[in-house]
Structure 1
């Protein structure tokens, strides 16, 4: 798999926030087509990802100095939410791509930035190989980076490698010989690298979040970017990762809510005791939709607010701005977790038994929300938020609160 642009690669270069939002809106409806069948059959979205890549949306966070749009985090979150509304798996696949680009922005050398950003603008996708199974905590890493002449070798095994199955490069967290964590941007066609499609989650079924095995994989020194130091000082890397997760859940919630509206309007029958002719006039149904609508709109507002805080933290990075951004993002993350699960479940209460039929595929919303919201526990977000406001305690720099 070549990392060089191919003659048939006609990749748009988006130049503004407005263009990014317009493009996301245009392709979302195309990505929504067959989303039910892709989920039901676990049909991997290779054609859809090609369309997604050619749209230029994967390059919108590349800084203007390197030829990208350098869009705001408000816009980035809205784009991801809109794509996740169309297909939750397609909304999640680029999450670690944008995360790696932020690590590159914060810690990469100018030469690394110029080269890797150019690949992204040419349509290359970055996956991830970060997490590992069997370690003491979810943050522990054992995959080793060892010196080999003027480069390195990587040995280890990863899981939850969302997007690696579809990527041209796989940013991989590794531990060097000094015990320091680095991020290696490994070409996906490297000898000894094996991406295994063994993801079997009951939701987010086409994210490709399976295993990556490294058997003495060669990586050039120029492809290794400092990683651990991004969490040893205040940087926006952590909240950037988290706002994308919040955006995915917000998109799932919006999709479930819209499908509930459509089903109740067109198919649901009124309950016999209601004494009304149409389900849309049922006062208890109206109350439930009102409750959902308020929480969904609050989630979308908090997501936008979090993007504004994150924009400020990127523009002026210090302990205070990063902490404020982390808390704002944690608030959006907490409420988006709750509304995505609530919308996916309440949909069936309001729509009735017909909505459970497999041909409608409405169960995918709750399944997707339930799987994705397990990324990190929402209970710890409330703890960090309360500790920040009550005790003036800043959240952890790792950003996964």
Structure 2
């Protein structure tokens, strides 16, 4: 029996009750404060510890937990819209939340238990989860060196990870590893436990303050209630991780539009070939900004559509409707792949063509507009866009299952 078709137990998920206005009232002022220091943090490679704490205090970490349990009761559509708005303020800060929000979603999909009740309480208390799935040293999921071994009633974790996004902001680290019999487990370990070593060695030219470097684990303890078989992780985990990136890319496009408008208005002179001596009145330069606005529109529409598909999948899972859930897993995969193609193309086009409206002054390091392209290009490299159109075509023409088996023998399951 596959994970998609496996029977499910009652979960913590409930129908969303938050309104867009409530979420905007809560988060918009904080996002405005975060945006104020975005350029300087980018220029000086400063980690946004204070800004992440503002968001913890405001409840972003438990945005999906039902109101009846102390959370904000948001849908996935609302959650990713909030994440996109945060990315418009600071794409680095937004990306930091990807692993945390995914693990919260995992626990909300899990059967009710005393251990999972403790996790809900931890989220409500503001405890934060960073990532730890990608093997260091070009290791793959199919040939994983990280181990999670029993130690009495608990476990010990040993291994090395990279792309450990959010780790320097975290209280907990979500680590995947193999057991001695070859099974796959994920263990949540405390960041400050002996044997945990986090290194800020991310060398990417974008997303530079997301704490996406190395994480080393040597005989780190993990309690029984904090260790889970990979097969029990929530069925749309892969969708969630990808849509979180698409939300950040959508925010980057909106920030590009915002900064492009401001820069064009501030531009003092035009080229001799221009159609108006005032750049902000030149029809061709206005056309560039109009095109960027269309890219933003397309990205937001694609993000909304794929988020709604995920909401339908979450609803089917919470209702215990196995047939509907199986259908929604595939329809959500198709929507996510389609949205990836639309949003990445939009992000790379917008962050490049905006400079056509700005002249040489647009590339000034004082404006730092290149950060939008660098961040978009970096995020666009996280997942294999090059394969998605082929997978979609094979699904529509031949009915080939579009849902990847990340842990198949001989497959890497991750790339660099």
Output the TM-score relative to the length of structure 2: 0.87
- Is the alpha carbon distance of 1:87 and 1:138 closer, same or farther for their aligned partners in structure 2, counting shifts above 3 Å? farther
By how many angstroms is 1:109 displaced? 5.0
**Range 287-296 or range 193-202, more displaced:** 287-296
Contact 1:129–1:160 at 8 Å: present in 2 too? yes
- Is the alpha carbon distance of 1:330 and 1:70 closer, same or farther for their aligned partners in structure 2, counting shifts above 3 Å? farther
Secondary structure class of the residue paired with 1:360:
coil
By how many angstroms is 1:69 displaced? 2.6
- Matched residues in 2 for 1:183 and 1:108: separation? 16
- Is the alpha carbon distance of 1:363 and 1:293 closer, same or farther for their aligned partners in structure 2, counting shifts above 3 Å? same
Offset from partner CA, 1:67-110 (integer Å, 9 cap, x none):
32331111011011011110010010010111112222334652
Offset from partner CA, 1:115-167 (integer Å, 9 cap, x none):
11111111111111111133454775321011111111111000100001110
Secondary structure class of the residue paired with 1:274:
coil
Secondary structure class of the residue paired with 1:154:
strand
Contact 1:142–1:156 at 8 Å: present in 2 too? yes
Equivalenced residue count is 385
- Provide the residue aligned with 2:18 in structure 1: 16
Offset from partner CA, 1:296-324 (integer Å, 9 cap, x none):
20110111111111100111142211111
Contact 2:128–2:169 at 8 Å: present in 1 too? yes
Secondary structure class of the residue paired with 1:272:
coil
1:348 aligns with 2:350: no
1:328 aligns with 2:335: yes
Secondary structure class of the residue paired with 2:149:
strand
Secondary structure class of the residue paired with 2:377:
helix
- Provide the residue aligned with 1:267 in structure 2: 267
Give the one of 114, 121, 126 matched to 2:124: 121
1:255 aligns with 2:262: no
- Provide the residue aligned with 2:237 in structure 1: 237
| Structure 1 residues not aligned, in runs of 5+ | 1-13
Contact 1:203–1:364 at 8 Å: present in 2 too? yes
Offset from partner CA, 1:217-267 (integer Å, 9 cap, x none):
111111112223448xxx222211111111011111110111111111122
By how many angstroms is 1:292 displaced? 2.2
Give the one of 119, 129, 132 matched to 2:135: 132
By how many angstroms is 1:184 displaced? 0.9
| Structure 2 residues not aligned, in runs of 5+ | 1-15, 318-324, 407-412
Offset from partner CA, 1:174-215 (integer Å, 9 cap, x none):
212221221111111111111111122211111010111101
Q: Calculate the aligned-residue CA RMSD, in Å.
A: 2.1
By how many angstroms is 1:64 displaced? 4.4
By how many angstroms is 1:275 displaced? 4.0
- Matched residues in 1 for 2:240 and 2:52: separation? 22
TM superposition outliers: structure 1 runs of 4+ over 6 Å: none
- Matched residues in 2 for 1:398 and 1:306: separation? 20
Equivalent positions of 1:144-223 (< 5 A) are: 144-223=147-226
